[in-house]
Structure formats: C-alpha cells, structure tokens
Amino acid sequence: MAELLPELLAVRGVSVRFGGVQALTEVDLTARAGDITSVIGPNGAGKTTLLGVINGAVTPLGGSVRLDGADLSGRPIFERAAAGVVRTFQNLEIFSNMTVLENVMTGGHLHAGYTLLDSLLRTPRFRREEKRLAALCREKLDFVGLAHKAHLPAADLPYGEQRLLEIARAIAVEPKLLLLDEPAAGMNNKETQQLGAIIRRIRGELSIGVVLVEHDMELVMDVSDRITVLNFGRILAEGTPREIQDNPEVVAAYLGED
C-alpha cells in the first residue's frame, strides 16, 4: 500500500459529448501496474464511454490517454490493442461463427508470426506458428476453465461461459491493460465468485493491469485496489474500497440506493 506502483494508464482531462449530451466532463483515471482499478457509478454515468475512450472506440473532445507513458490519443483501436490495451464488452461480442478455440486464436491475431504467403504455401513456419498459437490459446482457455470446450461452436456456450470466453480471448492478446466491461452481468453468485478469482489471477499470475466496470458491488469491493466513482459524467470520488464505502457523497448518490 505504501509503495507507489508505476502508472500504467493515465487518462487526463477527458471530455466526451454525444450530440447534446455531455457524457464525460474532465475525467481523470489512473491505473497502476499490478492494481485492479474499478470504475463504478449509476447507469448512464459514462463508465462504458470511459472504457471506449481508453480503447479508442470513442473519440473525446479533449484530454489524453497514456499507456506506460506513451500517448495513445487519436490512435485507432487496433493500434491500441497492439500497444497493450484490450477490452471485453458489456453486450457480448463473441465471434459466433467460430469455435471456442478459434475465438481465442483470433485474440492471438497479433502473435501469429507468419505472413499471408506462409499460409498460402503452408510453410513450416505457418505450421509451427499455428501450432504454437493453438497451444497458447488452449492455455488461456484453461486459465478461465473452458479448455474442455475448445472445439464447441462458441455460440453454443451458456451465457456465463461466453463471458469467460471473452476474457480468454482478451488475454490472448497479451495486453498490459485489460478493460472489463461488466463481466459479471447475468452471472449467478457462484459464477461471480469464480470470476473474482479469475480477475485476481489475471493481475497476479499474468501481471496484467485491470480496469473493471461493474455493478456488482460485492465483487467490486472484494477485488479492487482503487475505485473511481463516476456520476453524470464527472468524477465524484476516488479512493480505496474502504474510503469509497465511507464517503457520504458516494453513499448518497449511488451506494445508498442498493
């Protein structure tokens, strides 16, 4: 707690407007390497928009996004993925036309070290790299507990497992920072507990920084190192889970409602 970890993500002064709606106003967010940083707030507070700004899906009016000191502002989504920012989606975006393993291998797109010519000629390099990638992706599936379903069509998985598949696919990108958008939505208590353990292991075993947007307060308070509270697109509070729970403004605006 005392020693300050290096800044992994630094969002500074980000504002977003959708037509006449001010979605975010001068928002800052800092995530330190090795931390699980949560963003909470009522519906419409701008949490998903903030994730969009970080991963490049949403263009802000102003402000900057830095990862490991490198400025990502204005760069397209796929370049940010290569730079180390990957997200999952609140409304599942599983590749329903593929198997479970192929989904994860698509996550490994950037790590398949062969060219189009290699795939056309089926060179030894193609075979070696595809094999290596498949093995790597099986590990990722194993990490979330889906290894036994590798060859099923992804669309056949139950809802909770599709959420885990999204996580496996995202960590196959081997990011520095993983943005999780309501990963527990639609999960039962037991699944949510397992998810909490997986999120901790992503930080602990894979050394990936996590930014978590989540409504399940039990999960948030359980896994988070730091929490930022958004309300109507502005930052209401920032602190440790204990500080947030004791903050009267937060309780009034958000936590008290539950």
Using CB under 8 A, list all residues that contact another protein. 55-57, 76-78, 81-82, 86-87, 89, 93-98, 102, 105-107, 109-110, 112, 114, 116, 119-120, 122, 126, 130, 169-170, 173
Tell me how many helices (H) and strands (E) the chain has: 10, 10
Taking the least distance from each CB to another protein, the nearer of 93 and 246 is: 93
Two tokens, residue 116: 């189009």
Closest approach, Cβ 125 to another protein, in A, equals 12
Determine the Cα–Cα distance for residues 205 and 19; give it in Å rounded to an integer: 42
Taking the least distance from each CB to another protein, the nearer of 56 and 183 is: 56
Taking the least distance from each CB to another protein, the nearer of 96 and 207 is: 96
Closest approach, Cβ 239 to another protein, in A, equals 29
Taking the least distance from each CB to another protein, the nearer of 19 and 256 is: 19
- Give, as one character, the DSSP assignment of residue 153: B
Closest approach, Cβ 186 to another protein, in A, equals 18
Closest approach, Cβ 215 to another protein, in A, equals 21
- The DSSP element (H or E) to which 82 belongs, if any, is helix 77-83
Taking the least distance from each CB to another protein, the nearer of 87 and 163 is: 87
Closest approach, Cβ 244 to another protein, in A, equals 28
CA dihedral 91, 30, 42, 25 (to 10 degrees): -100
Determine the Cα–Cα distance for residues 196 and 208; give it in Å rounded to an integer: 15
CA dihedral 195, 168, 103, 58 (to 10 degrees): 80
